[in-house]
Amino acid sequence: MTTPATSQRRPQAPIAPEIPERIQRVGKALVAPLASVLFAFAVGAIIILFSGGNPIEAYQGLFCGGLGVFCTGDTYGSVAAPYRISETLVFTTPLILTGFSVAIAFRAGLFNIGGEGQLIMGAISSAVVGIHFATWPGWLLLPATLLAGILGGAVWGGIVGVLKAYTGAHEVVTTIMLNYVAIFFLQYLVTGGPLQLPGQTQVSPPIGVGANLPKLFPQAAQVFGLPGSVYRVHTGIFIALICAGIFYFLLMRTTLGYEIRAVGQSQRAARYAGVSAQRTIVKTMLIAGAFAGLAGAIQTTGIYHNLPIGYQNDTTGFDAIGVALLGQNSAIGVILSAILFAALHVGSSVMQSNAGVPASLVAMLQGLILFSIAANFLRSMKLRLPALRQAPVGTAPLPPGVAAIETEMDSSAELDTDVKA
Amino acid sequence: MNAVLQILGLFFTAGLWQLALELGALLLLPALGGTISERSGVVNIAMEGMMLTGAFTAVVTDLVWHNALLATLAAAISGGLMALIHAVVSIRFRADQIISGFAINIFAFGLTTFLIDKMTNFQGAAHVPQAYTLPVITVPVLSNIPFLGQVLFQQNIMVYVALALLVGMNIMLFRTRLGLRIRAVGEHPQAADTAGINVYTLRYGAVIASGLLSGLGGAFLSIGINNVFLPNMTDGAGYIALAAMIFGKWKPFGAFVACMIFGIGEAIYANNSTIHISQYLLNTLPYILTIVVLAAFVGKSAAPAADGLPYEPGVE
């Protein structure tokens, strides 16, 4: 979360003179996210201990179940690692895309809690096209369904942008409301509505076969010792990776990207530079919605091949907020944290069934990661360090909770109020 | 057309208004919490998580001590503790208040689900005997008034508590020195600090108060309206309360009106078996209405001027 501006303002001792600046920068960018993850796992371990569980066994389960590593011992020896990795990639794909949705909004100073609604509208629109034009050939149908998803999500995000830009309606509230509207609309469509499969409840007819995204592995062959049909991982992961390139290029190499970042830094300064904040906000939300909508379209064409009611329990669009923040709203960062969040999600069921630690531990870890990133505990600790050195011997530093009671009155310029990168 | 007439017909039944007031009061408690927190300048979207924590604590305490009032008190305190985390992170560490609030919601969901799974061995639900729930108070004589008696004087005890808190909060915010100070801290903390008001103390107090109120709302949900705790049982009620607060322009009575609109919407929804329109489409109405009202009438001017800005002494 350290903005480039902050690091320039604060004279920093070089880590070591012989390390190239580029590597130093990467290292510095990694410190805060890694520390946040470690903080979350440490607090999580305490909670597991207090609830009578074994933190090592639990975390082993998370990593074995999510990434296929450390699968040893009686508890996890029988877990099929290749299948777990495939599942993690399945969850990574929509997380990367919704992560970009949240991240690009953050870059413009907007908080998009509506990734979930935009994803659902993308899934609905793509399913409508996939079902309605089922007879079209694949080379036409697949792009059409994906495009429909992009448009559906963009409209849902665009509404938020227009309302924010021209009426001042806060995007946090409008996105939350639109999430509800989207989920109820989906429930209506497949429960007694026009998309319900006749004779079935709560599911739509399948989309045309041509709209199915190809799977990564041949279905008939043996892959890593298991039948290829058990692997759900599909080529949508490549679409997500291409989008990473688009996200980077758009943000860093185009005028629009410059405008988005300018508005995110300061709307007033952006106006002086001749940037219309209003139009930039609308464009940003259109793009944010498009990313999330594509995620929904990929779920339709890659995983479900229809419109299930199961989206009511989907949390991808919410997890994406953690993904974007942990990834510091950068292309590579979002990919890495999407893999982490997907692995946690996929691993949690293995942890619950094999080690008896409830899967909801993962939600707690996500919350803790967010706290840690938002509060930037590291920076606060660094600032407190001189004070700690002067403390008399034997005085233990106060834990954050207690230390917070004493209000800190230093007017250091290093404490920038701007948290959003 | 027929469906519209059926809905209109519902408005002439006392049952609809009775239920609407009950559900409105449920939303009012966290909405009042949000109001006081944001009036002091701390954005609070964490009512959802604090409510969920309160709902969980109420059920657990009630199961241990068989005392609904004690359980309600414990629920309020647990909500206050969650709020304390939000306060520390956003006031002391000057974190982004929306992210911190969102983190509270995720964390509270994870924590309560984790604990209920541990306690019930993955059954995922804990029931409280009906005898230990918060009682419905039937006011003698007054409850015999036709129509109004059923609506106003046959309600759960928490409905009366919520209405009393509504009046109390309005007087406190707009008629007392303390309220003036809270509003001053939310509008212009530098000026308030110069005038000798402790910005941090007031903000901590206001945020913790929002947790107490949301915790009460949680207890009302789990051991008043229901007699069970289920994972994620608040199901967005805290977010609706947030919308109601904004809808009501950061004023207690404004929030109450908005809560009643949601309450009426949900009460109609609860009667959906008699209406021939998709319950799901019906369910979207309060949310769409909120967006429309927000866009058309509220705008951006109504929020306290320093809402969401961490206070740093000496920085203008």
How does residue A384 score in pLDDT terms, banded at 50, 70 and 90? low
pLDDT surpassing 50 at residue A404 = no
Distance CA B117, CA A64 (A): 22
Q: What is the pLDDT of residue B298?
A: 66
The pLDDT-based confidence of A225 (bands split at 50, 70, 90) is confident
The residue among B115, B193, B280 with the most chain A CBs within 10 A of its CB, best to mutate, is: B280
pLDDT of residue B300: 60
User: A184-193, A281-290, B243-252, B289-298 — which is least confidently predicted?
Assistant: B289-298
Cβ–Cβ gap B246/A173 under 8 Å? yes
With beta carbons less than 8 A apart as the criterion, state whether A110 and A260 touch. Answer: no
Neighbours of A202 (CB within 10 A): 16
Predicted pLDDT at B13: 85
**Chain A residues with beta carbon closer than 8 angstroms to that of B314:** 411
Q: What is the pLDDT of residue A321?
A: 93
Of A163, A185, A358, the CB nearest to B295: A163
pLDDT band with cut points at 50, 70 and 90 for residue B167: very high
What sign for the dihedral angle of Cα A350, B103, B225, B116?
A: positive
CA-based torsion, B237, B240, B242, B244: positive or negative: negative
The mean predicted confidence, pLDDT, of chain A is 85
Minimal CA–CA distance to A357: which of A366, A347, A370?
Answer: A347
Distance separating alpha carbons of residues B156 and B134, to the nearest angstrom: 7
Q: What is the pLDDT of residue B215?
A: 97
Query: How many angstroms separate the CA of residue B310 from the nearest CA in chain A?
Result: 7
The stretch A10-33 carries a mean pLDDT of 71
Q: For position A161, what pLDDT does the model report?
A: 96
Nearest residue in B to A179, CA atom: B287
Q: Are A298 and A236 in contact (CB under 8 A)?
A: yes
Sign for the CA dihedral angle at B92, B97, B103, B106 comes to: positive
Residues A100, A290 contacting (CB under 8 angstroms): no
Task: Note the pLDDT tens digit of each residue in A287-327.
Answer: 999 999 999 999 999 999 999 998 888 899 999 999 999 99
Q: What is the DSSP letter of A308?
A: B
Q: What is the pLDDT of residue B177?
A: 95
Q: Given this model, what pLDDT does residue A410 score?
A: 33
Predicted pLDDT of residue A393: 38
Residue B113, pLDDT > 90, answer: yes
Structure confidence at residue A25 (pLDDT): 79
Residue A405, domain member (yes or no): no
| Domain hosting residue A151, numbered range | 76-341
Say what the pLDDT of residue B107 is. Answer: 95
Residue B312: which of A174, A352, A411 has the nearest Cβ? A411
Q: Which pLDDT score is estimated for A399?
A: 38
Which among B102, B118, B284 is the nearest to A370, CB-wise?
B102
- From chain B, the residues in CB contact with A181 under 8 A are 284, 287-288
pLDDT classification of B314: cutoffs 50, 70, 90: low
pLDDT of B283: 80
How many contacts does A have with B, using Cβ atoms within 8 A? Answer: 177
Looking at residue A420, its pLDDT comes to 36
A40 inside domain: no
> Under an 8 A CB cutoff, do B108 and A367 touch?
yes
Q: Which fold has domain B2-298?
A: ABC transporter involved in vitamin B12 uptake, BtuC (1.10.3470)
Q: How far apart are CA B21 and CA B259, in angstroms?
A: 9
B200, closest residue in chain A (CA to CA)? A407
Chain A residues with CB-CB distance to B299 below 8 A: 167-169
Instruction: Provide the phi-psi class of A274: left if phi over 0, else alpha when psi is between -120 and 50, else beta.
Output: left
Q: How many residues does chain A have?
A: 421
Q: Where are the domains of chain B?
A: 2-298
What is the reported pLDDT for B148? 87
A403 vs B92: CB contact, 8 Å cut-off?
Answer: yes
The predicted pLDDT at position B274 comes to 62
Rounded to the nearest angstrom, the minimum Cα separation between A313 and chain B is 11
What is the average pLDDT across A266-289?
Answer: 92
Chain B residues in contact with A399 by the CB 8 A cut-off are none
3-state secondary structure of B101: helix
- Measured between its terminal Cα atoms, the distance across chain A in Å is 5
Question: Does residue A80 form part of some domain?
Answer: yes
Mutation target to probe the A interface, by most A beta carbons within 10 A, among B99, B279, B315 is B99
> How sure is the predictor about A378, in pLDDT bands with cuts at 50, 70 and 90?
low
* Band of pLDDT at residue B316, cut at 50, 70 and 90: low
- Residues present in chain B in total: 316
Q: Do A374 and B95 touch (CB under 8 A)?
A: yes
For A364, the closest of B92, B110, B313 (CB atoms) is B110
Determine the residue of chain A that is closest to B111 in CA distance: A364
What is the structure's pLDDT at A152?
97
| Higher per-residue pLDDT: A3 or B183 | B183
Interior/surface letters B222-247, b for 16+ CB within 10 angstroms, e for the rest: bbbbbbebbbbbbebbbbbbbbbbbb
Whether residue A360 is predicted with pLDDT greater than 50 in this model: the reply is yes
Of B104, B301, B312, Cβ closest to residue A415 = B312
pLDDT at residue A415 in the model: 34
Which residue among B89, B243, B295 sits closest to A167, beta carbon to beta carbon? B295
Beta strand A222-223 with B136-138 is unpaired
Q: Which residue of B has its CA nearest to A113?
A: B102
Q: What is the rounded average pLDDT of the residues B148-158?
A: 90
Instruction: Count structural domains, chain A.
Output: 1
pLDDT score for A306: 92
- Our CA-based measurement puts residue A283 at a distance from the nearest CA of chain B, in whole angstroms, of 19
Would residue A204 count as lying in a domain?
A: yes
Share of chain A above pLDDT 70, in %: 85
Average pLDDT over residues A230-247: 95
B215 in the Ramachandran plot: left (φ > 0), alpha (ψ -120 to 50) or beta? Answer: alpha
Question: Which range (A71-85, B2-16, B133-147, B292-306) has the least confidence?
Answer: B292-306
In a domain, A362, yes or no: no
Asked if A337 and A322 count as a contact pair (C-beta separation under 8 A), the reply is yes
Closest by alpha carbon to B242, among B167, B307, B176? Answer: B307
Task: Kindly state the average pLDDT of the residues A87-99.
Answer: 96
What is the pLDDT, as a whole number, of residue A400? Answer: 38
Mean pLDDT of A398-419: 35
- What percentage of chain B has pLDDT greater than the value 70? 96
Q: How far is A367 from chain B (nearest CA, A)?
A: 4
pLDDT tier at A141 (50, 70, 90 boundaries)? very high
Supply the pLDDT for residue B297.
72
Of B108, B110, B294, the CB nearest to A173: B294
Using the beta-carbon criterion (under 8 Å), do B96 and A167 form an inter-chain contact?
no
A73: left (phi over 0), alpha (psi -120 to 50) or beta: left
Nearest chain B residue to A409, by CA: B313
What ipTM was estimated for this complex? 0.90
Question: Which residues does chain A have within 8 Å of residue B255's beta carbon, measured at their own beta carbons?
Answer: none
pLDDT at B144 over 90: no
Query: What's the mean pLDDT when you consider all of chain B?
Result: 90
Cβ distance of A371 and B45 shorter than 8 Å: no
Q: Please, which pLDDT band fits residue A398 given cuts at 50, 70 and 90?
A: very low
A184 pLDDT exceeds 80?
yes
Share of chain B above pLDDT 90, in %: 60
User: Which of B111, B281, B288 has the CB atom closest to A364's CB atom?
Assistant: B111
Which of the two residues, A132 and B296, has the higher pLDDT score? A132
Helices (H), chain B: 2-10, 14-39, 47-65, 68-87, 97-119, 148-153, 157-175, 177-187, 189-194, 199-220, 237-247, 252-270, 279-293
Q: How many CB atoms lie within 10 A of CB B55?
A: 33
Q: What is the pLDDT of residue B296?
A: 82
